[in-house]
Amino acid sequence: MKKEIIGTSNKVLEVDLAARRFWVSEIPVGDRELYLGGKGMGLKLLFDRLKPGIDPLGKDNILVLTMGVLMGTGAPCSGRFEAVTKSPLTGIMVTGSCGGPFGMALKTSGWDAMVIHGKADEPVFVCVDSGGATFADAAGIWGTGTAAAQDTLLAHGSGAMVIGQAGENLVRYANIRSGSRFLGRGGIGTVMGSKNLKGIVAKGREYKIRPADKKRFDRANKRFLAHINNNPVTAGSWRSYGTNANIRISNAAGILPVRNFTAGSHGQAVKISGETMAEKFDTRHDVCKPCAILCGHRGTIRGEKRHIPEYETVTLLGSNLGIFDPEIISDFNELCAEYGMDTISTGGTIAWAMEAAEKGLIESDLRFGSDEGIAETITDIAFRRGQGAMLADGSRMASKTYGGEDFAMHVKGMELPGYDPRGAFGQGLSYATANRGGCHLSAYMVGVEAMFGMADPHALRWKPYMVKFMEDIFSAVNSLHICLFTAFAVFLEPPLIRFTPTFIIRHLNQNFSLLALNLMDASLWPELWHAVVGKRYIPYLGMRGFYKAGERAHVLERYMNIREGIAKKDDTLPRRLLDEGRTCDHEAKTVPLDSMLKTYYRLRGYDENGIPREKTLEKLGIGKQTK
């Protein structure tokens, strides 16, 4: 009979790769109340251990893995874990959320978090069970791709996370594989490679996770599932077509990145849409567990079963390179998956190289609209061969060396994802202020601005309020920890929003932002949290407490970045987005960032240079020791 964990174990497995030893620490009750789990807890664990100014690729960097309190309970879309470290791509903090089997295996081995210190002398992998960690020689799988490495490790447990050749060769945007899912932007896989850590495997299935208040949990869970199954996004377009359902929406809204963000729409976009791929490849669901949205899909491409590329991959390795053949984009996706490389940064960096070659800054045969040489370039990047060695450092470093900084499409060193903010100004502000760099998941403003028409995408007055609100919410959701896609159901299905005409919501958002935000009902998230943890913590977190926990995590991350030198000078956008109009836009709009940023800083409690004020840190309890 399995042992039980009621709510959380609060146990942290700490591993020293250099000494090949482990020890156990505990998450203080106070930290659990303040940071919930997932992202927030990962940042706090890192904050307490990481010295500012260390080399992200040095032995002193630390990698933190954290599980949310919902994992293992059967809550919908809760099979996700978080990683937190200092990024080799940006030089600041990076967080990442991932599905796949590893998180569940680690949680059901009895651990709420794992902290990895030091650097192994030789390639290793780590095996985890309820008793701790053991270390195994990885020489035999060093140099293999992610699929083969994962298969090898799964002989030792029920869930693994591994890197491929890109991580081993210190490509600055290498990622980590768990099942058919991938962790990471910002080079989290690179940090593993720098530590000679090929992977981690957890035995799992040793503990059963039981909510402290089962009846309360079942009630909340039933409501949650009903919302997900009623929502037209979570139960409709994304369940049917995956995230590529956004292709047509983005193209119509003029926010689809085309030809290195020189245009926002294209006549051939339908060829790479989710609807087209579902029909062409006879797609079926391929999802994380336990998932109720079912956005992941697998199809048959050239007689081979493959995971269908997600929206960001299709845009950055497709439309942004002038490629509109989904089979070819799938080829690029498969290469990146095997080598363990972030498709967004790979595509963004290759787009810079294409334009740099076009402008005579570098010599290259890469050309927009042609797939010739792209697969070879991806391989060269993974192995740091030839020109690939330069591109392996990302577009920021390449453009500083060879020129073309104005069209290197990154923020804080992280390449932009698949939404052009000249068609959605709020997305532009959220790109600029996102703590980890160019990120659409810090605050998914295009949902409000483009997908649902709940606000004018170019009206400035309300955007700083909404960006702050969305940053806090998404930070809290990633700390809960549950899939961000559940936000569609949580926010849009309660009767007040569902039955209010869109034009009224639009009017409120644009003219009475604070009132509109206070009408949003996010109570299901904290209700689930409390049902799992029970009465060991504060009597009831509530929505405001939930928002505050998200704000605390967000500001802590900003504070940690400030210690690395981040300030207002870094809260900006590529020059192209600030100064250049687009071919699809007759008004030649550009993002008016400065006019939004000043208000955003005031709402955040930052000074005019973007640094959190002392009273802001005190109000949120950042820097204080907890018990």
Per-residue pLDDT at 537: 66
Average pLDDT over residues 408-425: 97
Average pLDDT over residues 91-120: 97
Classified by CATH at the fold level, domain 3-210 comes out as Aldehyde Ferredoxin Oxidoreductase;  A, domain 1 (3.60.9)
Q: Is the pLDDT of residue 305 over 90?
A: yes
Q: Is the pLDDT of residue 436 over 80?
A: yes
Task: Kindly state the percentage of the chain with pLDDT values over 90.
Answer: 87
Average pLDDT over residues 596-601: 97
Quickly state the pLDDT bin for 624 (edges 50, 70, 90): low
Angstrom distance (rounded) from CA 63 to CA 97: 14
Q: Which CATH architecture has domain 421-620?
A: Orthogonal Bundle (1.10)
Per-residue pLDDT at 519: 83
Average pLDDT over residues 305-310: 95
* Cα-to-chain-centroid distance, residue 187: 12
Average pLDDT over residues 597-605: 97
Q: Which residues partner with 195 through β-bridges? A: none
* pLDDT tens per residue across span 261-276: 999 999 999 999 999 9
Instruction: Please determine, looking at this structure, whether the domain spanning 233-415 carries the CATH number 3.40.50.970.
Output: no
What's the burial of 19, exposed, middle or buried (CB within 10 Å: 0-12/13-18/19+)?
A: exposed
Q: How high does pLDDT run on average in the chain?
A: 95
Average pLDDT over residues 143-155: 98
Quickly state the pLDDT bin for 2 (edges 50, 70, 90): confident
**Candidate from 232-236, 381-385, 442-446, 583-587 with smallest mean pLDDT:** 583-587
Per-residue H/E/C for 302-338: CCEEEECCCHHHHHHCCHHHCCCCHHHHHHHHHHHHH
Q: Is the pLDDT of residue 627 over 70?
A: no
Per-residue pLDDT at 511: 85
**Tokens 């604070």 sit at which residue?**
514
Q: Can you read off the two tokens belonging to residue 127? A: 């095996």
Per-residue pLDDT at 407: 98
Angle at 173 between CA 78 and CA 385, to 5 degrees: 145
Listed by start position, the domains of the chain span 3-210, 233-415, 421-620
pTM above 0.95, yes or no: yes
Contact 104/71 with Cβ under 8 angstroms?
yes
Per-residue pLDDT at 288: 81
Contact 433/442 with Cβ under 8 angstroms?
yes
Angstrom distance (rounded) from CA 411 to CA 414: 5
Quickly state the pLDDT bin for 540 (edges 50, 70, 90): low
